[in-house]
Amino acid sequence: MTIRFSSRIAASCCALCVTGVLTLTPVPASARTGADPVTPTTADARLLYRSGTQARLRSGAPRLPRDVSALSWLVADAGTGEVLAAHDAHRELPPASTLKTLFALTVLPTLPAGLRHKVTEADLAGIGAGSSLVGVAAGRTYRVSDLWRGVFLNSGNDAVHVLAAMSGGWRDTAVRMQAKARSLGARDTHVRSPDGYDTSGQVSSAYDLAVFGRAGLRNADFAAYCGTAYAKFPGGGGWSYEIQNTNRLLTGANGVERYRGVIGVKNGYTSRAGNTLIAAARRGGRTLVVTVMNPQDGGGYAVYEEARSLLDWGFGAAGRVTPVGSLVAARPVAQAGPEAPASVRVAASVPVAATVTPDSGPGWPETWTILGAAVLGAGAVSLVLRFVGPKRV
């Protein structure tokens, strides 16, 4: 017995099968949105893991300043996150009090600014010898906002200890800071002491500090504190005294000229870290963030002059350079080769929301497409057999 179908019936079966395939095949992202798909690359991320200075100057771009002696530095657009240039961006170095930016990002959201707290001796226990202090005293009551001014302006480790005690304790705060750093894509930072005090194993990088500075500027309270040059701090008994921001680019103190357009962020110093600085400035609708870690020439105030040179260069170069990386955290991808250590899982320089992961082979969408086509095809044949029937010869 031979089963035969008319050409019309065969064509109908084929049409049903093709319809099934077209119906169940996933529509590419570019077809849904009308835009080209964004494919993540790792070229920019790898550049920032190279040693030395990384910059891609286009025609008309100013030359990089030659007076920068810092072990590590970075210039980025705070709005887009694009890294305009960097030197040893991921080199792990002691951060000193610039780590307080990560402390603030972690703890600020947990404590209302108007909350009042009576300080105890236990709150102040364990402050490192030689720490910078704002003058917090046991037995006195402070508002949280006062303590934050003590952190940002005077770099007071005593204020950090009290805020950490109010927010779960010293060790818990360090753990949460570590988690916060990772959530921001900052993988060079290892937190041991939330105030930035020199501690074995505590490091960060110019890249990570720029990430923290950029994130902080997006928080209204953080931005207000870090941009305050002078404030009053309670001294007990109803009197107060003036405190001054130790960021000399902001105050213009000690012979350091105030930088035009400066808006913060935080400086630091320890004997191990040397001078460190996260600086941000806004001009012509553009905000830049610069990090400078441990200048080797020029004395204690060189960190400000080197940041000034990098900011000047950045404003002149913006729009005339090809970015060499991004501060924007994205989906981690594996890196290979000598320029990125095997332990590094850096992010591509595009936001997670904009990332379209390339297909790596057959998956569930393809499986359902095949099954759908098979089911519809089988259904078509079954209908033909039932209603048309075989023809005998």
Query: What does the pLDDT read at residue 236?
Result: 85
Residue 203 has pLDDT above 90, yes or no: yes
Average pLDDT over residues 157-173: 98
pLDDT at 227: 98
Q: CA gyration radius for the chain?
A: 29
- Give catalytic residues, as residue numbers: 97, 100, 155
Most distant CA atoms of the chain, gap in Å: 114
Confidence of residue 131 (pLDDT cuts 50, 70, 90): very high
Strands (E), the chain: 53-55, 72-77, 82-87, 116-118, 141-143, 230-236, 239-244, 262-270, 274-283, 286-293, 325-326
pLDDT at 268: 98
- pLDDT for res 274: 98
Residue 15: band (very low, low, confident or very high) from pLDDT cuts 50, 70, 90? very low
Residue 216 has pLDDT above 50, yes or no: yes
Higher pLDDT, 237 or 169: 169
pLDDT at 300 over 50: yes
Residue with the larger pLDDT of the pair 359 and 260? 260
Decide if pLDDT at 264 tops 60: yes
pLDDT number for residue 147: 99
Distance of CA 146 to CAs 20, 118, 119, 362, Å?
67, 12, 13, 58
- DSSP-derived secondary structure for 90-122: T--B--GGGGHHHHHHHHGGGS-TT-EEE--TG
**What residue ranges in 78-229 does DSSP mark as E strands?**
82-87, 116-118, 141-143
Residue 94, token pair as written in the block: 């002691």
Least confident of 4-18, 93-107, 175-189, 316-330: 4-18
State the pLDDT at residue 330: 62
Question: For residue 357, what pLDDT is reported?
Answer: 29
- 100-128 pLDDT, tens per residue? 999 999 999 999 999 999 999 999 999 99
Confidence class for position 370, pLDDT limits 50, 70, 90: very low
pLDDT of 366 over the 70 cut:
no
Whether the predicted pLDDT of 257 surpasses 90: yes
Flag the least confident range among 40-49, 248-257, 328-337, 383-392: 383-392
Please tell me the predicted confidence (pLDDT) of residue 321.
97
Q: 331 or 225: whose pLDDT is higher? A: 225
Residue 369: pLDDT above 80?
Answer: no
Predicted confidence at residue 61, as pLDDT, reads: 97
CA distances from 8 to 1, 16, 107, 385 (A): 21, 13, 73, 14
Q: In this prediction, what percent of the chain has a pLDDT beyond 90?
A: 71
On the question of pLDDT at 237 being above 70, the answer is yes
State the pLDDT confidence band at 44, using cuts at 50, 70 and 90. low
Tell me the domains of the chain and their CATH numbers: 7-37+362-387 (no CATH), 43-354 (3.40.710.10)
Which pLDDT score, from 0 to 100, does residue 9 have? Answer: 42
